[in-house]
Amino acid sequence: MAEQQQAGHKTVLSGPPTGVDARALDEAVRFTSDLIRIDTTNRGGGDGTERLAAEYVAEQLADAGIEPRILESAPGRANVVARIPGTDPAADALLVHGHLDVVPAEAADWSVPPFSGEIRDGVIWGRGAIDMKNTDAMVLATVRSWVRTGQRPARDIVLAFTADEEDSAAYGAGYLVKQHADLFEGCTEAISESGAYTFHAGEGLRIYPVAAGERGTAWMKLTAHGRAGHGSKVNDENAVSRLAAAVARIGEYRWPVRITDTVRAALTELAAVHGLPADLDDVDALLDRIGPAAAFVRPTVRNSANPTMLDAGYKVNVIPGVAGAFVDGRIVPGGQEEFTSTMDRLTGPHVAWEYYHHEVPLTAPVDAPAYAAMREALEHFDPGAHVVPFCMSGGTDAKQFSRLGITGYGFSPLKLPPGFDYQALFHGVDERVPVDALHFGVRVLDRFMRGAGTAQAPAAAGASGARDGEVGA
């Protein structure tokens, strides 16, 4: 890796080149800060605007000679799409997408104004610093650097900066997929948020979880019907009792372990890292032994269904004829059929259930060349990194792009110092990102997106600490 000296957020590179130039590192920082200052709060239900951020992104692309298209789904709800042609016309295209909207921030709770984009002591503060204006900025800085330095990616790269990810995606990725599918022609794989950050798992162990799947969303409405009547009378068709029994059965149900390919790979790698046998016959026991990293595997080894809301009755001495409840269900890849039949059984004959919101689970192969290239890029810039796949317990825009047959990975590289609680800052107070983390991210993104770590590409000759140009297994 090249030596670097820092003065403020200016970085001077010495030593062998690493792909991007020093200006790209500075731009990643400046763009992050600038984008944070453009308030793109998404309050849901159509209340949000990304237009100014989209214009900012489009300007940076156009300035580098990359032709952007601004696609507005509704007034103020703007997306940006651009295509960078690759050198290999036979290669499938890679989609790189990032959302421009952010969740609300309550200024009174923060140490700095949440839309200040302030850079202090080597850290950029503000809403969107990790979710995910930082990634938008790193991607912009990377592709602009290619133009300046005369480099091109092997694959076509399609860039998409989207609106409305933090709500339904109806004005963003959902709209693009429905109305502008042609812009994504040839894309087979995608990268976006929520993966490839440093997870410190104790004893100097640095794990980089790369998302290779998402659980599905199954929000359900339960309705129990019965015989309405006086609260003092015998009633063996009480809707409240029927609902309560069903809710209790769902809440107490212990879902069986269902290991997907992604989770199997994760457990096998984590067991190896800790020098343990990968005993997949007793996954819960294994999870107990693999330390802090179990936190990102545990929610995804089985389906889940948690009762969250109850709605029944209006007077203490009146038995209502109907009682309702809501349940938050999540489904592992391949687990849909089991989920449906289990819910039928647990709700029983007197309680009906339906989806209130339903999104499919996703899975992405971890034996694919793209995954190997992500691993290689991370290991290249952090020798000693352990790259481990994981399944996201929630969902992202990848669900929308999957409708076009695009396989999505969570790959938004950041090298974070010990004690930096990335998970807590997601949608959290005092969201922030270290400048150094962005520098690392730009280098990794450049290497991966350009296809520089593949066998055909020349190695970064003489780079100390760097591996040769081969793809990691």
Positions that interact with Zn ion (CB under 5 A): 131-132, 193
HSE, side-chain direction, 13 A CA sphere, residue 419: 0
Residue 131 or 261: the one with the smaller Cβ distance to Zn ion is 131
Q: How far is the CB of 20 from Zn ion (least distance, A)?
A: 24
Cα angle for residues 47, 53, 58 (degrees, 5° grid): 135
Residue 299 or 321: the one with the smaller Cβ distance to Zn ion is 299
Which sign, positive or negative, has the C-alpha torsion 114, 169, 296, 95? negative
Q: How far is the CB of 406 from Zn ion (least distance, A)?
A: 17
Q: How far is the CB of 214 from Zn ion (least distance, A)?
A: 12
Pairing mode, strands 229-230 and 77-84: unpaired
Three-state DSSP at 176 gives helix
Residue 44 or 369: the one with the smaller Cβ distance to Zn ion is 44
Report whether 31 contacts 141 (CB < 8 A).
yes
SS3 content of the chain, % helix, strand, coil (to 5): 35, 25, 40
Please name the amino acid found at residue 51.
R
Q: How far is the CB of 194 from Zn ion (least distance, A)?
A: 7
Q: How far is the CB of 331 from Zn ion (least distance, A)?
A: 21
Report whether 217 contacts 359 (CB < 8 A).
yes
DSSP conformation class of 182: G
Q: Which residue is nearest to Zn ion (CB)?
A: 131
Q: How far is the CB of 51 from Zn ion (least distance, A)?
A: 19
Report whether 370 contacts 389 (CB < 8 A).
no
Residue 211 or 343: the one with the smaller Cβ distance to Zn ion is 211
Name the residue with tokens 């039949």.
341
Q: How far is the CB of 333 from Zn ion (least distance, A)?
A: 21
Residue 129 or 287: the one with the smaller Cβ distance to Zn ion is 129
Give the CA diameter of the chain: 87
Q: How far is the CB of 131 from Zn ion (least distance, A)?
A: 4
Closest CA to 18 of 348, 441, 416, 317: 441
Report whether 267 contacts 297 (CB < 8 A).
yes
Dihedrals phi, psi of 230, to nearest 5 degrees: -75, 140
Q: How far is the CB of 467 from Zn ion (least distance, A)?
A: 31
Residue 194 or 407: the one with the smaller Cβ distance to Zn ion is 194
Residue 98 or 307: the one with the smaller Cβ distance to Zn ion is 98
> In terms of C-beta density within 10 A (0-12 exposed, 13-18 middle, 19 or more buried), how is residue 89 classed?
exposed
Q: How far is the CB of 413 from Zn ion (least distance, A)?
A: 15
**Concatenated DSSP letters of 320-383:** -SEEEEEEEEEE-TT-HHHHHHHHHHHH-TTEEEEEEEEE--EE--SSSHHHHHHHHHHHHHST
Residue 140 or 301: the one with the smaller Cβ distance to Zn ion is 140
> In terms of C-beta density within 10 A (0-12 exposed, 13-18 middle, 19 or more buried), how is residue 61 classed?
buried
Residue 131 or 136: the one with the smaller Cβ distance to Zn ion is 131
Residue 44 or 231: the one with the smaller Cβ distance to Zn ion is 44
